[in-house]
Amino acid sequence: MDKRMSIDEVVDRIPSGGLIAIGGSSISRKPMALVRALARSDKRDLRIIVDVGGPDVDLLLGTGRVGEVIYAFVGFEVLGLAPHFRRARQSQTVRFQEWTEYTVMAGLDAAIKRVPFMPTHATLGTDVLRVNPSFKEIRDPFTEQPIVAVPALKPDVALIHVNYADIQGNGVILGDGHVDVLCAKAAKDTYMSCERLLSSEELQRFGRDVQILRVYSRGVVEAPWGAHPTGCAPDYRTDVRHLQDYLRASASEEGWHQYESEFVTVDHRQYLENHGGAEELVSRLKV
């Protein structure tokens, strides 16, 4: 089946109020072309799941698309804190659930395995257990010892970005895998953007690096530089200069409006043009 679609067709299929899992990790391989399209859409009250979030969550919060965030981490790593996340947390304008890296994975895994929860010792003794109403401390039925039940996370949609895909929806991930496979398997509908579409024959040469299996994907979008400004190893590194501009812009209302008009309310082609085009990006970011 040919599953190619446009970025806008993906956004059309995302319901307001939907539970959306986003792959990647902080400033690495985030599906930013898809996220930007969602950020400029009129969707409301999206419920976002990220294991390790960064510019993805922050941008969606910045354009007011989000009702709730389930996260283990949201930040810009070496660049510092995520500005819109920080503001939203401090002003309590959005609901937040603090999870942890493994418990997000366990929640997705529970959804995949069609069980209601996964048990773990992680979060015992911490305040995560106190502030996260989704977790329940229960008794191990065999030993009566305390253990934490992590409920299944059942995303309506997963958004991921990969290096290569074929039109049937198989995807190759060459750098760190993060939690993309779990997101893809757990979600009802997985939409994947890729740096480049390859024939299925070419794709199968990547062997075990074919990590996203077509039975889990609903749509495929070819979007070169689709993770920018996050990195996509081994194709390109994180655009730290863009992220620094983002941080500066988000410090004032005026700056943010300017940023939105230049980099969010434009389509992906224009977005790349506004960076001086693909050649300019190659010279700055190819490794």
58 belongs to the binding site for another protein (CB under 8 A): no
28 belongs to the binding site for another protein (CB under 8 A): yes
Q: How far is the CB of 105 from another protein (least distance, A)?
A: 6
Q: How far is the CB of 175 from another protein (least distance, A)?
A: 4
100, 193, 217, 250: which one binds another protein (CB under 8 A): 100
Q: How far is the CB of 54 from another protein (least distance, A)?
A: 10
170, 190, 217, 238: which one binds another protein (CB under 8 A): 238
Q: How far is the CB of 52 from another protein (least distance, A)?
A: 7
Residues 170-209 that bind another protein (CB under 8 A): 174-179
- Binding segment for another protein among 3-11, 118-126, 188-196, 265-273 (CB under 8 A)? 118-126
- Binding segment for another protein among 14-22, 110-118, 145-153, 249-257 (CB under 8 A)? 145-153
Nearest to 164 by CA among 206, 219, 217, 208: 206
143 belongs to the binding site for another protein (CB under 8 A): no
149 belongs to the binding site for another protein (CB under 8 A): no
7, 61, 66, 98: which one binds another protein (CB under 8 A): 98
Q: What six digits make up the tokens of 163?
A: 């290096």
164 belongs to the binding site for another protein (CB under 8 A): no
Residue 12 or 131 with smaller CB distance to another protein = 131
DSSP states of the chain as a string?
---B--HHHHHHTSPTT-EEEE-SBTTBS--HHHHHHHHTS---SEEEEEEEESHHHHHHHHTT-EEEEEEEEE--GGG---HHHHHHHHHT-SEEEE--HHHHHHHHHHHHHT-SEEEESTTTTSSHHHH-TT-EEEE-TTT--EEEEEEPP--SEEEEEEEEE-TTS-EE--S--TTHHHHHHHSSEEEEEEEEE--HHHHHTTGGGEEE-GGGEEEEEE-TTTTTTSBBTTTB---HHHHHHHHHHTTSHHHHHHHIIIIISS-HHHHHHTTTHHHHHHHHHB-
Judged by the rule CB under 8 A, the positions of this chain that interact with another protein are: 25, 27-28, 51-52, 71-75, 78, 81-82, 85-86, 89-90, 92, 98-103, 105, 121-128, 131, 137, 145-147, 174-179, 231, 233-234, 237-238, 240-241, 287
